[in-house]
Structure 1
Amino acid sequence: MKFATRSIHAGYDNAEHSKAVMPPVYQTSVFEYGHVGESMPFVYARTGNPTRAALEACLASLENARHGLAFASGMAAIDAVLRACLKPGDEVIAVADLYGGAYRLLSKVMEPAGVKITFADLSDSRNLTALISARTRLLWLESPTNPLLGMVDIAELSKIAHAHGSRVAVDSTFATPYLQNPLDLGADIVVHSATKYLAGHSDVLLGLVAVNDDALHREIKFIQNAAGAVPGPQDCFLTLRGIKTLHLRMDRHCDNAERVANYLQSHPKVERVFFPGLPEHPGHDLARRQMRRFGGIVSIWLKDDSREAASRLAERLRLFALAESLGGVESLINHSYTMSHGGMPPEQKAQLGIREGGVRLSIGIEDIEDILADLEQALAD
């Protein structure tokens, strides 16, 4: 089946659920045994739930994976992957310009627990070759990166990592399975904050993981059950419902983002536009090979590189809400310096280009003429 069909039907057989067209919400914490010692598909909701199982199977199909796993948030998903793959003394090499929450988890939780963390510019694969060692057990990637939409070559970096015995995980939240499939490119693990595009309506907190390797699946599933950071059935239902329109929404997000990027590219108050769909973007050619389209996020540096200028823009926008998240049907603006990357040290933000006068725009699916008009009035003198 093609992607659009799988997004609607994968993971759910209504014959197993009284022919209900939509997956039922199994709002129960326990399931009854027939007799002592019986093997049951579901026994306790932390371990498994039919609504959650449908979502996990759906994600696996969309990522061309054997296994899917659902978690209470994107960060819970990342945490489970790290704990399943690492022990004290191991090393993670992570792309330097990564999501602030992932940076915080790596630097403030995993590093004090004895895991060596190395952040690196991985836009050039030779940098990984120079850094990787037998101690490296996990390569952590984002592509596109958050917030400046850098690109890394997943296939090439995976080859290097595997040659040194390291697993590869890719946070593919910005791309979604509709635009990019990291497992097909050689990665071992793909992670999504389903809070964003997959659920798509800013009403769910949920994380997803997909893998092919059976042993790796067992390792992450053990953490999922043992730590218990699992989503409730209602959130799983809402995410499944959101996924049914993922292909439609992503096409509109991409269409609108391309128009916004081109508009801002020539605006006199904008110093630089970060969007992989622009030919000037350093990762444009890689994005064309690795992704099907360029996504719905556009980041900019204002010429007035001040927090006041960024705040003025956010306050004057009418359609765009100033908010932490992204990927909903509505347009959002994020001041990465103080919001998504607020916990990153100022010197590191400066090195990465996360500036006071920079903002990240999550372009929604509103009418593009209204989006452009809103930007125009907000940027006017």
Structure 2
Amino acid sequence: MHLSTRSIHIGNEKDPLTGAVIPPLYLSSTFAPPGEFSEALYDYSRSGNPTRGGLETTIAALEEGVGALAYGSGMAAIHGALMLLKSGDHVVAGTDIYGGTYRILHKILNRVGIETTLVPLDDLEQVAAAIRPTTRMIWAENPGNPLLSLVDLATLADIAHQHGALLAVDNTFATPVATQPLKLGADIVMHSATKYLGGHSDLLGGALVVRDKALLKELYFIQNATGGVMAPLDCYLCARGIKTLEVRFREQCKSALWIAQFLENHPSVKKVYYPGLPSHPQHELAQKQLRGLYGGVVSFELKSDFQAAKRFVSSTQLFQRAVSMGAVESLIEQPASMSHASYDKADRLKAGIDDGLIRLSIGLEHVQDLIEDLQGAFQLTLEQDECAPSVNWNLEAGYFS
């Protein structure tokens, strides 16, 4: 069964009582089962809820795992995975990671004696050198955030397993449409369901998917004990969003490639980060690992400073200045002052997240309108810098004039 079919039918079976094509939303916090309480499928919504169970079944099917767990946010899901660790353990993580992940690794886990080493995961020699006898997990993003770096997940899984560590992969940017990390050897896949899975900026949620039943049981115990579960209404909205995941994601990837090409040829742009461009250092890997679907996020650096980038992200009309990504509306942000502001500045600059970096999340607007919106921001921002080159982009022909 193809992914688009699974996203619609698995976990979304019709209601056996009424025949309703859309399963009902179960808002109940508690259940009074008719039989033995100890044998009940549902007793309390923290432990299990029919709406959440349906969503978890769908997500597990998309990633081809043995099961999934839905959490109250993407960070709650990350926390759930990291709670597998204990004091004295060590984590190897990428330098190109979400600011919230950096924060929990460096400012929360360190309080309980869990250490983290950041390395560029595309340099597998550095990864191997960073591993210690106490390393219990490698945390990767596919692709990285915000520089869209890639790592060979199959090779990274081999390295992790050779040292008795788990490989956890944040697959939010690629989605299961482009990559299924469990099939490449990953042990845990994480999603911020707020992003592409939900797709409409109207819910908060996260998910973990695994390929081992014993690991699923351990993660469920932690989730049930700590209570960071996804609310039924958010589960209902996410299940609805997933039904259009593949068609949305493919269209966003198509527009993102056009915009990346536009930016790469713009005289005011210093560098573009997008795996779909031949200039990307892991472009060949992206063709294979991302199946030619390079994602809906594009990052680029202006030939300017922090203040110019800050003005730029406030100068667009269609691109809304906001954190998050993966929804139907396009967003723009400056990582240094927004999504990655929680980084210690030295670590941020060392990771290559410069002050002039801008991250775009491409939505479902017409790509010509989005390019014109960016061009307007270039003209407005550069005019203030007394440098406004005239650039016109021909969408149909794919060239500048």
Q: Which category of TM-score, normalised to the shorter sequence, fits these structures?
A: over 0.9
Q: Do structure 1's residue 261 and structure 2's residue 268 form an aligned pair?
A: no
Name 2:159's counterpart in structure 1.
Answer: 160
> C-alpha separation between the residues in 2 aligned to 1:66 and 1:309?
48
Conserved 8 A contact 2:75-2:101:
yes
Mapping 1:334-345, distance limit 5 Å: 334-345=333-344
Contact 1:55 1:239 in 2 (8 A): yes
Q: Which amino acid aligns with 2:337?
A: T
* Aligned-residue offset at 1:92: 0.7
Aligned positions of 1:116-131 closer than 5 A? 116-131=115-130
Map 1:1-381; keep pairs closer than 5 Å: 1-16=1-16, 18-83=18-83, 85-292=84-291, 293-304=293-304, 306-380=305-379, 381=388
Whether the 8 Å contact between 1:147 and 1:360 is mirrored in structure 2 is yes
1:7-66 deviation line (CA, Å, top 9, x unaligned): 111123215453221121101001112255441111100001000000000000000111
Residues of 2 paired with 1:201 and 1:348: CA distance? 32
| Matched residue type, 1:100 | G
Contact 1:272 1:302 in 2 (8 A): yes
Give me the whole-angstrom Cα distance separating, in 2, the residues matched to 1:20 and 1:252. 30
Describe the superposition over 1:305-331 as per-residue Cα deviations: whole angstroms up to 9, x where unpaired.
Answer: x22211221222000010011111000
Helix, strand or coil at the partner of 1:333: strand
**Per-residue deviation at 1:76?**
0.2
TM-score, normalised to structure 2's length? 0.93
TM-score, with length taken from structure 1:
0.97
Question: Aligned partner of 1:133: which letter?
Answer: R
Matches of 1:17 and 1:180, distance apart in 2 = 37
Distance in 2, matches of 1:38 and 1:187, equals 34
Q: CA deviation at 1:134?
A: 2.6
Q: Does the Cα contact within 8 Å between 2:257 and 2:276 map onto a contact in 1?
A: yes
Quick one: distance in 1 between partners of 2:298 and 2:283?
14
Q: CA–CA distance in 2 between the matches of 1:112 and 1:309?
A: 37
CA change 1:98–1:110 in 2 (3 A) is same
Q: CA deviation at 1:212?
A: 1.2
What letter is aligned with 1:102? T
Q: How far does residue 143 in structure 1 lie from its aligned partner after superposition?
A: 1.7
User: Counterpart of 1:112 in 2: which secondary structure?
Assistant: helix
Which stretch has the larger CA shift, 9-18 or 311-320?
A: 9-18
Please tell me whether the aligned partners of residues 191 and 208 of structure 2 are also in contact (alpha carbons under 8 angstroms). yes
- The secondary structure found in structure 2 opposite 1:44 is coil
Distance 1:179 1:258, change over 3 A: same
In 2, Cα distance between equivalents of 1:16 and 1:194: 27
Alpha-carbon separation, structure 2, partners of 1:149 and 1:163? 27
Change (3 A) 1:160 1:323: same
- Is 1:17–1:24's contact at 8 Å kept on the other side of the alignment? no
Distance in 2 of aligned mates of 1:366 and 1:27: 34
Distance in 1 (CA, whole Å) between partners of 2:36 and 2:197 is: 40
CA deviation vs aligned residue, 1:191-239 (integer Å, no higher than 9, x gap): 0001001100001100011001111101111111111111111100100
Q: Is the 8 A contact 1:224 1:230 kept in 2?
A: yes
Q: Deviation above 6 Å: which 4+ runs of structure 1?
A: none
CA distance in 1, matches of 2:37, 2:258: 60
RMSD of aligned Cα (Å): 1.1
1:133 Cα deviation (Å)?
Answer: 2.9
Distance in 1 (alpha carbons) for counterparts of 2:313 and 2:46 = 41
Tell me how far apart the structure 2 counterparts of residues 224 and 214 of structure 1 sit (CA, whole Å).
Answer: 15
Unpaired runs of at least 5, structure 1? none
The one-letter code of the counterpart of 2:10 is A
Bigger shift: residues 324-333 or 132-141: 132-141
Residues 124-144 of structure 1: CA deviation (Å, up to 9, x unaligned): 212222222331111100120
SS in 1 for 2:111: coil
Q: How many residues were matched structurally?
A: 379
Q: In structure 1, give the amino acid aligned to 2:188.
A: I
**Residue deviations 1:338-359 (CA, integer Å, cap 9, x gap):** 1111011111111111112111
User: Residues 198 and 17 of structure 1: is their aligned pair in 2 closer, same or farther, counting only changes over 3 Å?
Assistant: farther
Q: Where do 5+ consecutive residues of structure 2 fail to align?
A: 380-387, 389-401
Deviation at 1:95, TM superposition (A): 0.9
- Shifted more, 55-64 versus 20-29: the winner is 20-29
2:314 and 2:186 map into 1 onto residues whose CA distance is 41
Query: Are the aligned partners of 2:42 and 2:48 in contact in 1 as well (CA < 8 Å)?
Result: yes
Q: Specify the alignment match of 2:397 in structure 1.
A: none
Distance in 2, Cα, partners of 1:264 & 1:338: 21
Equivalent residues of 1:180, 1:291 under 8 A apart? yes
* Corresponding letter in the other structure for 2:164: G
